[in-house]
Copies of this chain bind each other. A is one copy, B any other.
C-alpha cells in the first residue's frame, strides 16, 4: 500500500499519515500536539478561539517539546455576521436559567469583539512564526493570505465536507484536504449549504479522492487501526482522529468530559447548533435536549453567549451544561497516553495493510 510513504507524508515531512485533529477550546495542549508529532504523526493546535498572544505562547511551548512539524488551525470568519437586538436579548433570556442555576452573577451578554480583526491577528502570528502547517475550517482564506503562507513554506490544509467543497479548496491552492465525514465530532466544517455537508465517510472518501488530485486525509468515525486502514483503501492518503485523542492523558479535556467519552455509546451523539450557532456533534446532554427547537443565533454570537455558561459548568462539574464534542466512534474510546495510542494505531495499521 505504501500507506506510510506517500505524497502526503512526503509533503509534510512526517513519518505516519496520522493527524490529531485541531480541536478548539483548550483541548489541544502543547503536550498533546508535541506528543503526536514526536511519535511521527502531525499534532494540530485548535486555535480558532485563541487570542494571538496565546497562540504565540503555545507555539513556543510546542517548539520546546518537539522539533517535528505541527499544524495550527484557524476558523475563517463568515462575512457580515449579525443578529437582531431582540433576538440576542431573547437568547440571553433563554440562557439565564443556566447562568442562574450555576450561580453566575452576570447575565448572559455578548462581549465587544471584532471577529475579522481577531482572525487577521491570528493569521499574522502564523506568518511571523512561520508555522510548518496551517489548516482552515468554515471557509477558504483570501487568495493573498494563501499565497503569503505558501511563499514562506507553510503547507495549507483545507477542510471539506462534500466533493464540491474539496474541489473548491484544491482550486484555491490547498496542498491537501481533510474530508470530514458525518461521523466526526465537533464542528462541521461545512461552508456550502448546511444540508450538503452531511456525507458519511464511506461515501465521502472515495468520491472526494476521485475528484481532486491533491492528497485527501479522512476524518470522521476513525478510532483505531481498522478505521485508518479502511480510509486508506477508500482512497485517502492520511487520516485525522479527534475523539480518539481526547481521552489521552495529555489532552486538555475536562476529567468529566473524558469520563463522558469513555462511557458514551455510538448512538448517543447528535449534531446541534445550540452551543455555537454552527452545527457540531457532541454527546447528547440536558442543554442540547432543552434547546431543541430553539433557533440559535448565528455563529459566533451563540458561541460567545454560551461560552461563559459552559466554562462555569466545567468549573462546577456539571457536564449536563458543557459541550461534550464527540464523534460516532466514541464507543471505542480508551484511556491511554499519546504514545500508547500512536503505537497501537501504527502497529495495527501495519498488521492490516502490510501483508
Contact = CB atoms under 8 A, between A and B. Distances in A.
A270 B195 contact: yes
B202 A181 contact: yes
A300 interface: no
A262 interface: no
A41 interface: no
Interface in A314-332: 327-329, 331-332
A196 B268 CA distance: 7
Interface in A327-354: 327-329, 331-332, 352
Interface string A191-208: 010011101111110110
A331 B207 contact: yes
Contacts of A311: none
Interface string A252-293: 000000000000011110100000000000000000000000
A226 interface: yes
Interface in A155-207: 162-164, 181-183, 192, 195-197, 199-204, 206-207
A108 interface: no
A203 B164 CA distance: 24
Contacts of A162: 266-267
Interface stretch (A71-79, A96-104, A126-134, A217-225): A217-225
A230 B203 contact: no
A261 to B, nearest CB: 14
Nearest to A193: B267
A57 B206 CA distance: 40
Interface stretch (A12-20, A27-35, A137-145, A231-239): A231-239
A273 B195 CA distance: 16
Nearest to A230: B230
A227 interface: yes
Given A202-B222, A206-B227, A355-B355, A197 B234 contact: no
A328 B226 contact: no
Contacts of A331: 163, 207
Nearest to A162: B267
A352 to B, nearest CB: 6
A248 interface: no
Nearest to A190: B267
A246 interface: no
A8 interface: no
A353 B221 CA distance: 22
Contact of A231 (B164, B197, B230, B329): B230
A183 B203 contact: yes
Contact of A196 (B164, B267, B332): B267
B233 A206 contact: no
13 contacts: A163-B331, A164-B265, A181-B202, A196-B267, A200-B220, A201-B201, A201-B202, A201-B221, A202-B221, A203-B223, A203-B266, A204-B328, A206-B224
